[in-house]
């Protein structure tokens, strides 16, 4: 009995150690929110350009309840540009972790025909308040157009299957066709490479 408890104690220390190690090895310090990889410093040779199959024209934006920080009111007005459509909500940690990288992309490529549209799809009721979204956007450094999707109809209609996810980014080519998408944080260098490739296609 005593031996069994001693073994359990050793096991407990090991499990706590593994949990501690997982937190200690958190790659987000180097890869995401606090210190994103500057786009300009991503060597072109480090990440191969991902495959960019043509998945056809993007779906419509449905029941958009207004735009913030934008003169445009539809994706059609952005045809001719490479557009990143990102589904996000300011209360989602993983969404906000991607924003510094989105800011880097925006600063780097906006003058080359690149645009970002953040489709804000709230998870909870307080995230649907426009004033809260405006405050969060200012605080988080979101300077690109935001389409408000309070009913989440666009959020669900763009994503296949019954469950949709935050964050999710789609890249549209200059013809408005979906060429790349990624769920969750990360893959920043791959996204950069995809943007560069799409800009180069018709550039």
Partner 1 sequence: MFAAFAEAIRTTTQPCTLLLLLPALVMAIITRGRWAAFAAMCTGAVLGGWLFIANVVALDGWRLQLSGALVVAVIGLVLVARSVSPLNWAATPGVQAAFASLVTFAATLWWRPCIGTELGVILTGARAGALGELPGITAYMLGSMMPVLAVVLLMRVIDPSPVAARRAAWLAGVVGLAAAVAVTIGRHDELVATLTRWTMS
Among 149, 155, 187, 194, interactor with partner 1 by CB under 8 A:
187
Regarding 93 and contact with partner 1 (CB under 8 A), the answer is yes
201 in Cβ contact with 173 (< 8 Å): yes
Residue from 4, 45, 111, 131 that binds partner 1 (CB under 8 A)? 4
Could you say whether residue 27 binds partner 1 (CB under 8 A)? yes
Part in contact with partner 1 (CB under 8 A); list of ranges 56-64, 88-96, 105-113, 131-139: 88-96
- The residue count of the chain comes to 203
Q: Which is nearer to partner 1, 176 or 186 (CB)?
A: 186
Told to check if 32 binds partner 1 by CB under 8 A, we report yes
* Closer residue to partner 1 in complex, CB, 19/72: 19
Distance, CA of 64 to CA of 148 (rounded, Å): 5
**Rounded to the nearest whole angstrom, what is the least distance from the CB of residue 112 to partner 1 in the complex?**
26
Which is it for strands 114-120 and 146-148: parallel, antiparallel or unpaired? parallel
Phi and psi torsions of 37, nearest 5°: -70, 120
Q: Is residue 125 a contact point for partner 1 (CB under 8 A)? A: yes
Residues 67 and 114: their CA atoms lie apart, in Å, by 18
Instruction: Considering the complex, state which of residue 82 and residue 92 has its C-beta at the smaller distance from partner 1.
Output: 92
Q: Is 144 in the site for partner 1 (CB under 8 A)?
A: no
Q: Which is nearer to partner 1, 89 or 154 (CB)?
A: 89
Give yes or no for a contact between 184 and 32, defined as CB atoms under 8 angstroms apart.
no
- In angstroms, the CA 169 to CA 97 distance is 13
84 close to 114: Cβ distance less than 8 angstroms: yes
- Residue 86's DSSP bridge partners are 118, 169
Among 114, 144, 166, 170, binds partner 1 (CB under 8 A): 166
135/65 Cα distance (integer angstroms): 18
Q: State the residues that interact with partner 1 by CB under 8 A.
A: 4-5, 8-9, 11-12, 15-16, 18-19, 21-23, 25-28, 31-32, 91-94, 123-126, 160-163, 165-167, 181-187
């Amino acid at each position: 009995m005593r031996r069994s408890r001693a073994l359990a104690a050793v096991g407990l220390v090991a499990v706590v150690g593994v949990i501690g190690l997982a937190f200690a090895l958190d790659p987000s310090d180097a890869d995401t929110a606090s210190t994103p990889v500057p786009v300009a410093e991503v060597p072109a040779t480090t990440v191969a350009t991902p495959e960019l199959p043509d998945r056809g024209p993007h779906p419509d934006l449905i029941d958009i309840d207004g735009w913030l920080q934008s003169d445009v009111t539809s994706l059609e007005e952005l045809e001719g540009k490479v557009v990143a459509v990102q589904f996000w909500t300011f209360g989602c940690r993983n969404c906000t972790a991607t924003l510094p990288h989105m800011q880097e992309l925006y600063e780097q490529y906006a003058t080359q025909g690149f645009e970002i549209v953040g489709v804000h799809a709230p998870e909870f009721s307080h995230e649907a308040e426009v004033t809260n979204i405006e405050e969060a956007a200012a605080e988080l450094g979101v300077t690109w157009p935001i389409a408000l999707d309070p009913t989440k109809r666009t959020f669900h209609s763009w994503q296949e299957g019954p469950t949709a996810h935050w964050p999710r980014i789609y890249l549209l080519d200059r013809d408005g066709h979906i060429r790349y998408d990624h769920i969750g944080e990360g893959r920043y260098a791959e996204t950069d490479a995809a943007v560069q490739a799409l800009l180069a296609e018709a550039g």
